[in-house]
């Protein structure tokens, strides 16, 4: 009797879950069709609804970015491409799309000047994090193995050295890229860097929509940011959105 009830619960749950997934997939397809048909606003609404209900996925964010791009909202397009890239760092399509939209809008990233920056730019933050975790797990596994059986000393030394090296390098790279974790994208086409966090204060210069900035501090409705060229200024909070969705 109990067994039958358990089977029933499992079946019911799986049916509900399948239906839920199916409805999500349907909504996703519908939104894609709207993009193709040119109904970008409707597609954006549907993608956002999906994100609220299901969360984000690289594909969802990518398509949302495409819809924004088609709709002429390049700031939001770059924001969602960047988010998609953070979820799927190795996705060539996402990287290519982000690169293309930046170039098309004249948003060139400043070339890394120092060798440290060049080196850390070889991989993105998630890749360095994966390397760090991998090295730590490898070293742990080695230590546990040594508890169980003896291993050739040379092998132990080589593996330990490699793990230490990878840990040191990836930790340094993460530390150097730490600030970029807070990166924000300018989503307003009339955003300006101001001298003070006051409306109407002197403008340092305009900042292009889609430009990546790093927040340094906040005050009221303003955020003190630095762009890739090193220019700093206060920008309205509503004009920038954090890539990590904070």
Residues in contact with another protein by the rule CB under 8 A: 24-25, 28-29, 32-33, 35-36, 50, 54-60, 62-63, 66, 69-70, 83, 86-87, 93, 96-97, 100, 103, 106, 108, 111, 125-126, 129-130, 132-133, 136-137, 139-140, 143-144, 146-147, 174, 178, 181, 243-246
Minimum distance from residue 200 beta carbon to another protein (Å): 26
Minimum distance from residue 190 beta carbon to another protein (Å): 17
Query: Among residues 54 and 188, whose Cβ is nearest to another protein?
Result: 54
Query: Among residues 4 and 115, whose Cβ is nearest to another protein?
Result: 115
Query: Among residues 1 and 144, whose Cβ is nearest to another protein?
Result: 144
Q: Which two tokens stand for residue 165?
A: 């090296």
Whole-angstrom Cα distance, residue 232 to residue 225?
6
Query: Among residues 59 and 204, whose Cβ is nearest to another protein?
Result: 59
Beta-carbon-side half-sphere exposure of residue 81 (alpha carbons within 13 Å): 27
Burial 182-214 (b: 16+ CB within 10 A, else e): ebbbbbbeebbbbeebeeeeeeeeebebbbbbb
Q: Which two tokens stand for residue 90?
A: 């190795």
> In which element (H, E) is residue 7 found?
helix 2-37
Minimum distance from residue 2 beta carbon to another protein (Å): 33
Minimum distance from residue 84 beta carbon to another protein (Å): 9
The string of DSSP letters for 116-152 reads HHHHHTTS-HHHHHHHHHHHHHHHHHHHHHHHHS---
Please name every residue paired with 193 in a beta bridge, in sequence order, or none if there are none.
205
Query: Among residues 167 and 225, whose Cβ is nearest to another protein?
Result: 167
Minimum distance from residue 5 beta carbon to another protein (Å): 31
């Amino acid at each position: 009797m109990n067994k039958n009830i358990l089977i029933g619960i499992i079946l019911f749950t799986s049916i509900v879950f399948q239906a839920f997934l199916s409805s999500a997939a349907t909504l996703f397809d519908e939104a894609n069709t709207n993009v193709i048909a040119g109904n970008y606003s409707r597609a954006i609404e549907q993608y956002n609804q999906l994100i609220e209900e299901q969360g984000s996925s690289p594909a969802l964010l990518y398509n949302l970015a495409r819809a924004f791009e088609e709709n002429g909202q390049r700031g939001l397009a770059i924001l969602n491409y960047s988010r998609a890239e953070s979820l799927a760092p190795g996705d060539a399509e996402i990287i290519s799309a982000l690169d293309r939209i930046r170039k098309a809008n004249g948003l060139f990233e400043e070339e890394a000047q120092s060798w440290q920056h060049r080196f850390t730019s070889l991989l993105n933050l998630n890749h360095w994090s994966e390397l760090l975790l991998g090295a730590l797990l490898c070293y742990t596994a080695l230590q546990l193995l040594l508890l169980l059986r003896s291993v050739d000393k040379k092998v132990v030394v080589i593996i330990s050295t490699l793990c230490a090296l990878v840990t040191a390098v990836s930790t340094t790279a993460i530390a150097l890229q730490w600030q970029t974790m807070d990166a924000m994208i300018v989503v307003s086409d009339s955003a300006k860097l101001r001298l003070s966090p006051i409306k109407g204060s002197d403008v340092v210069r305009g900042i292009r929509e889609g430009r990546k900035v790093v927040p340094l501090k906040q005050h009221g409705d303003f955020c003190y940011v630095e762009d890739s060229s090193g220019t700093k200024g206060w920008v309205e909070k509503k004009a920038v959105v954090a890539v990590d969705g904070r």
